Amino acid sequence: MTAYEVNFDGLVGPTHNFGGLSFGNVASGAHGQQTSNPREAARQGLRKMKRLHDLGFRQAVLPPHERPDMGLLRQLGFHGNEAQILAQVAREAPHLLTAASSASPMWTANAATVSPSHDTQDGRVHFTPANLNAKLHRAREHQTTARVLRGIFADESRFAHHPALPGVSDFGDEGAANHTRLCATYDQPGVGFFVYGRDAADSRAPLPARFPARQTRQTCEAIARQHGLVPERVVLAQQNPDAVDAGVFHNDVIAVGNQNVLFYHEQAFLETSRTLQSLSEAMQGLGSELLPVCVPEAAVSLQDAVQSYLFNSQLLSRPEGGMLLLVPSECRSNPRVSAYLDELVSGPSPISDVLSMDLRESMKNGGGPACLRLRVVLTAAECEALSARVFLDDDLYRTLEDWIDRHYRDRLNPADLADPQLLRACREALDELSGILGLGAVYPFQQQVESAS
Ligand code: SUG
């Protein structure tokens, strides 16, 4: 049966700001406390979706979450009405207000790990929302993510939803950012390639020295079990700790795969030859051949890879044949990376085209094109079974563009996050959006009506 890769991009939320919240994510640290432009951020993301839709790819959208997260602030001991809570947290612990206001759910590559129905023992598409427990500002995302995914993929005969893994460090889970599915074509079984930063059960395994490794081997094993993946078609690998220390906080900052192609940096993995050997064997078991495209350090240094986000690109199979690499515009402003890309597409590689897009607002928080999307391989029948209006078409694009223009500010400073009017505006926007997308009541404020005054 025909199957497609559908990219579910996160719409950037109205509180998009630069909080400097993600230690180990170089861009987040460098831009903390700058003024953001939520409207431009949302438009940049939407333009990417539209461009891919226009090129013939299947494009869908996931909504932002409710922010500031008043539930988090109450859980942290702030009390009173909402205006009082916002004033108190801004006065006493502004970093907690920033954490509660992050628009980080936009990076839907971290929303969940997804296994297509061709890969699972029960023939359903399996979803595990990521607990994202490495960072306070992301650790509650899975609650709304789970409701949204259950709302969209509602048919239980086709879609299986698991709860997030236990929220302890041994099970740190960052979702699809550390998971790549390799296959010959989307309508055939594939190989689940999981990459972790540390092994919580092996105290002798190497660790990064400077920055934290967010995801564990135990997480990858649990998800593979939970999703009913065939062990011969699962490959696990550890990230190179030196890469983590250079700012590679997720594997998708240093490698991207699509179908049988793996595009990766020479320093991405701890044991590169063993990893490639295992992937090749698993692909051979499916009657396919792995095509590794290694970028040597001599052509693009680890530092240039992190600065330009070359590997946080989307590698897409064009409907008319050939593969397209959608890169952030930073790749074209870095002369060494740009020269490498020109060479790549003029040579014999399976990557035939490069498209560069401006996603600077997201990039300043360490989120490139690949971070902004969750890949879900679906058969034509599964596509038809979705319950919400999430597929992007010209009409939905125009509606969302207008919705952004009416609801988003074009300047936001950290101090603005305490404004109760921002919370009200955010809820009004999301209430309208859940109607546009036909999502039902997925947000906490839609379940309990509270006074913001
Ligand atoms: O988790 N940045 C995100 C970026 C996520 C990128 N996702 C992938 N690589 N798939 C993170 O570090 C920064 C927020 C701030 O500092 O305001 C942030 O959360």
Given the structure tokens 């693009």, which residue do they identify? 300
**Residue-by-residue pLDDT tens, the chain, 453 positions:** 699 999 999 999 999 999 999 999 999 999 999 999 999 999 999 999 999 999 999 999 999 999 999 999 999 999 999 999 999 999 999 999 999 999 999 999 999 999 999 999 999 999 999 999 999 999 999 999 999 999 999 999 999 999 999 999 999 999 999 999 999 999 999 999 999 999 999 999 999 999 999 999 999 999 999 999 999 999 999 999 999 999 999 999 999 999 999 999 999 999 999 999 999 999 999 999 999 999 999 999 999 999 999 999 999 999 999 999 999 999 999 999 999 999 999 999 999 999 999 999 999 999 999 999 999 999 999 999 999 999 999 999 999 999 999 999 999 999 999 999 999 999 999 999 999 999 999 999 998 654 444
Given the structure tokens 């540390």, which residue do they identify? 198
Whole-model pTM?
0.97
CB 75 within 8 Å of CB 82: no
Measured from the CB, is residue 112 less than 6 Å from ligand 1?
A: no
Q: For residues 293 and 302, give the distance between their C-alpha atoms in angstroms, rounded to a whole number.
A: 16
Q: Is 161 a catalytic residue?
A: no
DSSP 408: -
From residue 66, give the alpha-carbon distance in Å to each of 91, 136, 146.
Answer: 22, 16, 14
Tokens encoding 266 = 């020479």
Q: Is 371 a catalytic residue?
A: yes
Q: For residues 47 and 96, give the distance between their C-alpha atoms in angstroms, rounded to a whole number.
A: 32
Which pLDDT belongs to residue 447?
A: 86
- Can you spell out the DSSP letters for 339-398? HHHHHHHHTTSSEEEEEEE--HHHHTTT--TTTTEEEEEEEHHHHHT--S--B--HHHHH
- Can you spell out the DSSP letters for 218-284? HHHHHHHHHTTB-GGGEEEEEBPHHHHHTT--SGGGTEEEETTEEEEETTSBSSHHHHHHHHHHHHH
Q: For residues 310 and 256, give the distance between their C-alpha atoms in angstroms, rounded to a whole number.
A: 10
Q: Which listed residue (330, 371, 382, 426) is catalytic?
A: 371
Which pLDDT belongs to residue 76?
A: 98
177-193 pLDDT, tens per residue? 999 999 999 999 999 99
Distance 452 CA to ligand 1 centre (A): 29
Measured from the CB, is residue 369 less than 6 Å from ligand 1?
A: no
> How, if at all, do strands 373-379 and 3-10 pair?
antiparallel
**Burial (CB count <10 Å: 0-12, 13-18, 19+), residue 122:** exposed
Residue nearest to atom 7 of ligand 1 (CA): 371
Which pLDDT belongs to residue 247?
A: 98
Q: For residues 424 and 271, give the distance between their C-alpha atoms in angstroms, rounded to a whole number.
A: 50
348: left (phi over 0), alpha (psi -120 to 50) or beta: alpha
CB 304 within 8 Å of CB 337: yes
Closest CA to 180 of 245, 270, 286, 109: 109
Q: For residues 175 and 124, give the distance between their C-alpha atoms in angstroms, rounded to a whole number.
A: 19
Q: Which listed residue (250, 382, 407, 426) is catalytic?
A: 250
Distance 137 CA to ligand 1 centre (A): 10
Q: Which listed residue (5, 40, 66, 174) is catalytic?
A: 174
Measured from the CB, is residue 257 less than 6 Å from ligand 1?
A: no
Q: For residues 317 and 194, give the distance between their C-alpha atoms in angstroms, rounded to a whole number.
A: 21
Is residue 38 reached through a cis peptide bond, with omega within 30 degrees of 0 on the bond before it? no
Hey, how many other C-beta atoms are within 10 angstroms of the C-beta on 347? Answer: 9
Q: Is 174 a catalytic residue?
A: yes
Question: Domains (ranges, CATH) in the chain?
Answer: 3-67+102-452 (3.75.10.20)
Measured from the CB, is residue 26 less than 6 Å from ligand 1?
A: no
Which pLDDT belongs to residue 449?
A: 55
Measured from the CB, is residue 177 less than 6 Å from ligand 1?
A: yes
Tokens encoding 122 = 């029960």
